[in-house]
Amino acid sequence: MAEAVARALREERHLVVEAGTGTGKTLGYLVPALLSGRRILVSTATRALQEQIARHDLPRLAHALDRPVDAALLKGRSNYVCDLRLMRLKAQPALAGGIEEAALHRVERWLGVTETGDRAECHDLPEAWPGWQEIVSTSETCIGSACEAHARCFVMKARARAEAAQIVIVNHHLFFADLALRTSAAGVLAGAAILAPYEAVIFDEAHTVEDLATHFFGHRLSSRSLEGLARDAQRFSERCPGGGRGLARAGERLLGRAQRFFEALPVGTGRWRLEPEALAAAGQDHEAVAEALSVLADLCAPVAEMGNEEAAALGRRALLAREALALFTLQPDPGLVYWAERRPRSLSLHASPIDVAEILRERLLADVPCVFTSATLSVAGRLDYFLGRIGLDPGSEVETRILDSPFDFSAQAALYLPEDLPPPGSGSHARAVAEETRELAELTLGRAFVLCTSLRNMAAIHRHLASASLPWPLYVQGEAPKAVLLDRFRAVPGILVATQSFWEGVDVPGDALSLVVIDKLPFQAPDDPVVAARIEYLGARGVSPFSAYQLPRAALALKQGFGRLIRSRRDRGIVTVCDARLRTRSYGRYFLETLPPCPSFHSRDALRTWWQGGGASTRLGADRCSSMPHNGS
């Protein structure tokens, strides 16, 4: 891998490498990146991997190479305290209403010792503390060099360190936010960018690139962002030069009108498609919000002209929000799908690109050489699906590699496909999954993840397990922050029931995890607005959406879930998929060909023999089934 990465960087070509778990892929790209002498961004999907590279892998590498490593860690601005917002909040205690004081004091104490202002270092701050949003900046609220706290600003210092470093460890959120900004029409004109110029990008956890690009090349407008704008206008009115009574009223008016507008939208749950007629129903309220935004922008303009950067930033935000509002009302772009999402404290409108391949080709791949790597990029032994989704032509412009994991899956893992399960979606399926879990957990003494495809399944399976009086602790996603929950599980392994966020990026090596139960094949919901639009898009072009999109995407997701089990050469365990379609549908083979080869079983007795016999020695005892490439026999 290191040679392929070195060649790609030298020849300025794109490279796609699937590197199975345990191949040492991080060092496989860090070493050639360092030795290239070029300025390179390494981008990860998760902050956890970002931290691991910066705090663990790079220091190890510096030690091994016996030379300093010129690298910096950079996260999005919402990870760093904004000194200015914190100062203002403290100066106007009335506006800090609702913010838990004890947590605020904890932050202040920590600010006295931190050098980075990076939230990851403030260990005793609750993960979901809502006050954090009030003390961080956004690109719209930051007033840059006009800020009185600029010289000691954590965001600016982190960016300065990153600008000077040869290797910068960023995350996909930050990378695509920057790319979308710098390549947008307005960004090109204004020379806007977050990241200083770079010569190549290495994407780790690259299987998430399509989703992140979809998010950042789209548009959003949320009730929360309008409320934030209204609140900031009210705050600013108290210190606005020349008095800000008009601004205070404009903020209040915007708040009320935005609330009415979002309440007038058709009610939905989760994510739903926004048809133009849906917004027509909120027509008058929409115009009222647009007018309130114009008034706010007009009030800010004369103050901004006097050189007040804060007023200029407020005015820009109001105009951008008005533009976004018009975009959702007119829905002018057939390349976008318009949809809405309801979350506990916010309703947001989105316009997402249906196909990001062309966008990535024009705005990324044509510009810099890129290395894409992950443990899960190939389906049924081929990389074509991934290449196509991100805009790479399999024929010419890219070198590809599939590097197998050094782990012996045929000895370390078993796939169990229980027979006689009710079909997924039937009323009794959740109970049957819970029952399978309980039976299998007796073999593995708990130490199990139950990975669910929906919150509803998670709740139902958890409920059935909770009523089963298990002899092991039972954990469920949401009862504590993810990192805390994982620490608890590692300390006292039991059964952890979870959904999407535990399917990937979760590492529990060793004995703590010996069983992964997957409730059903992880097809995306076909009525999700973005998925539905992509299905229509492919169908209209004569391409089968099922085989070109839904099936490979689900196969990759299953491979991710399977990948939680074996994290080191010493790990051993069982994956069970409680979905009969793996055996009964013709596409089941496609899923099985995507998973690492290991023995598969249909009978629990045969599985028990394998487990109790230590795996490798009884491999020939695996069930015989002619359609199973996973059959170890």
Question: Which amino acid is located at 568 in the chain?
Answer: S
DSSP-derived pairing of the beta strands 448-451 and 336-343: unpaired
CB of 601 closer than 8 Å to CB of 416 = yes
Residue 128: φ, ψ to 5°: -100, 25
Structure tokens at 557: 């997701």
Quick note: the x/- pattern for ligand SF4 over 153-182, rule CB under 6 A, is x-xx--------------------------
Cβ of residue 238: shortest distance to ligand SF4, in angstroms? 17
Measured between alpha carbons, how far is residue 171 from residues 5, 43, 115, 205 in Å?
A: 19, 5, 21, 10
Residue with smaller CB distance to ligand SF4, 195 or 379: 195
Structure tokens at 490: 């590692």
- List residues bridging with 372 in a β-sheet: 16, 203
CB of 252 closer than 8 Å to CB of 270 = no
Residue with smaller CB distance to ligand SF4, 7 or 152: 152
Q: According to the binding rule CB under 6 A, does residue 137 interact with ligand SF4?
A: yes
Stretch that binds ligand SF4, among 20-28, 151-159, 432-440, 457-465 (CB under 6 A): 151-159
Residue with smaller CB distance to ligand SF4, 159 or 534: 159
Question: Which amino acid is located at 398 in the chain?
Answer: V
Q: According to the binding rule CB under 6 A, does residue 82 interact with ligand SF4?
A: yes
Stretch that binds ligand SF4, among 36-44, 97-105, 148-156, 324-332 (CB under 6 A): 148-156
**Judged by CB under 6 A, which of 1, 9, 104, 142 binds ligand SF4?**
142
DSSP-derived pairing of the beta strands 474-476 and 495-498: parallel
* Coil, strand or helix at 17: strand
Q: According to the binding rule CB under 6 A, does residue 150 interact with ligand SF4?
A: yes
Q: How far apart are CA 474 and CA 278, in angstroms?
A: 43
Q: How far apart are CA 138 and CA 132, in angstroms?
A: 12
Q: How far apart are CA 146 and CA 508, in angstroms?
A: 47
Cβ of residue 24: shortest distance to ligand SF4, in angstroms? 37
Q: According to the binding rule CB under 6 A, does residue 143 interact with ligand SF4?
A: yes
CB of 165 closer than 8 Å to CB of 9 = no
Residue with smaller CB distance to ligand SF4, 144 or 266: 144
Q: How far apart are CA 91 and CA 260, in angstroms?
A: 31
**Rounded to 5 degrees, what angle do the CA atoms 470, 473, 477 make?**
115
Residue with smaller CB distance to ligand SF4, 153 or 430: 153
Quick note: the x/- pattern for ligand SF4 over 327-356, rule CB under 6 A, is ------------------------------
Q: According to the binding rule CB under 6 A, does residue 89 interact with ligand SF4?
A: no
Q: According to the binding rule CB under 6 A, does residue 107 interact with ligand SF4?
A: no
Q: According to the binding rule CB under 6 A, does residue 619 interact with ligand SF4?
A: no
Q: According to the binding rule CB under 6 A, does residue 83 interact with ligand SF4?
A: yes
* Coil, strand or helix at 97: coil
* Size of site (CB under 6 A) for ligand SF4: 13
Cβ of residue 82: shortest distance to ligand SF4, in angstroms? 3
> Number of C-alpha atoms within 13 angstroms, CB side, residue 609?
14
Residue with smaller CB distance to ligand SF4, 73 or 379: 73
Q: Please give the residues from 489 up to 518 whose contact with ligand SF4 meets the rule CB under 6 A.
A: none
**Judged by CB under 6 A, which of 48, 62, 95, 149 binds ligand SF4?**
149
Stretch that binds ligand SF4, among 18-26, 149-157, 160-168, 506-514 (CB under 6 A): 149-157
Residues near ligand SF4 (CB under 6 A) are 82-84, 137, 142-144, 147, 149-150, 153, 155-156
